[in-house]
Amino acid sequence: MKYVWLLLIFSASTVFAQDVKELINEGIKFHDQGDYEKAIEKYKEAIQQDSNSAMAYYEMAFSYHLLKEYEQSLESANQALALNDQGVNYYATIIKGSVLDDMGRTQESVSFYKEAVKKYPDQYLLLFNYGVSCGRLGLRSDAQELFLKAIALKPNHPGSHLRLALLKKDGNEKVRATLGLYFFLLLENESKRAEEYAQTLLDWLYQTNVGDDGINRISITLPSGSKKDNMMATAELGFSMALLASSEIEKQKSMSKQEKFIYDTNQIFSLLGELNDNKKNKKKRNAPDLLWDTYVPFFYSIKKAGHTEAFCYHILKTSKDSDIKTWLASNTEKLELFYLWTETH
């Protein structure tokens, strides 16, 4: 009889646990569909059955966060952390720091992340969110270092490349900013922010100044510090001059916007690739550098492999331009060859 009771107790607890897990999974489905309120209802039901479910509190914090109900999100994240579930703590930590930042309590967010990184030093997503908070406080050097660490841990994390590119643009480092944005769009080309930053990339490339005579002139401004770095100064000057020269080429007057973009992208990749391959320049470099060690070699390889056209249309995929849509629909083989090529590079 004793064993029968034990079996019944075990069976009841198993069903109970399954019910909680199923409720959380239902909540996650609603969350993924964008119905955060229904998701929260399911998480609350799960908590009613098991008040020690750190996962339910974490998921609820996540849904509240996307609803921009920050107080409730913070409270739920704190409850998740208080339960000290090792499988949930890391994710609840990220949510809490992000919520504090979005509440305008960015200094608290930075302090919180600073302590969290001691516990999770090799988690790229934590480093990324920490970097975002540092950036909002104007701690550019700290933010840059954190994004670079995140990229070292997760080279294909689009957000880290994007945030680093935006930092570089703010610092007037046009080459680093532009190639960072190229790389972000390589990794993420179908999202809403991809649509926004594809246009941003074009704005960066073709930002002009109109003089009193009505002529457009591409501005050439060297970033601070480039005078000490001859290779970077050459890159920045050559980059701007390449765009200026292309705008003056007579044959380009008959080019479409897309053809000009492909042409200019090819020129930029060639210029930087050749500069990077220069033996004298290689000897001068002794510290790791994302631009020269990753971005430039990769994009130069795209150019040499003849995939610049496919690459450019790939990163412009979100465009509403009918010509771009037509090219994408008519050149699936070129795109497939490009995608196969990227898998081995």
Looking at residue 242, its pLDDT comes to 83
User: Which among 120, 119, 142, 121 has a CA at the least distance from the CA of 132?
Assistant: 142
Q: How far apart are CA 67 and CA 30, in angstroms?
A: 13
Residue 195 sits at the vertex; the CA angle it makes with 105 and 220, to the nearest 5 degrees, is 85
Q: How far apart are CA 141 and CA 181, in angstroms?
A: 19
Q: How far apart are CA 119 and CA 231, in angstroms?
A: 39
Q: How far apart are CA 178 and CA 16, in angstroms?
A: 54
Looking at residue 224, its pLDDT comes to 54
Residue 222 sits at the vertex; the CA angle it makes with 219 and 224, to the nearest 5 degrees, is 140
Beta strands in the chain (DSSP E): 208-210, 216-218
Q: How far is CA 211 from CA 203, 205, 215, 220, in A?
A: 18, 18, 6, 14
Looking at residue 61, its pLDDT comes to 97
On whether the CB atoms of residues 89 and 81 are closer than 8 A, the answer is yes
Looking at residue 16, its pLDDT comes to 46
Looking at residue 241, its pLDDT comes to 85
Spell out the per-residue pLDDT of the chain, length 345, in tens.
444 333 333 344 444 455 889 999 999 999 999 999 999 999 999 999 999 999 999 999 999 999 999 999 999 999 999 999 999 999 999 999 999 999 999 999 999 999 999 999 999 999 999 999 999 999 999 999 999 999 999 999 999 999 999 999 999 999 999 999 999 999 999 999 999 999 999 999 987 544 444 444 555 555 555 456 788 999 999 898 888 777 766 556 678 889 999 999 999 999 999 999 886 666 666 678 999 999 999 999 999 999 999 999 999 999 999 999 999 999 999 999 999 999 988
The answer for residues whose C-beta is within 8 angstroms of residue 19's C-beta and 6 or more apart is: 49
pTM (2 decimals)?
0.87
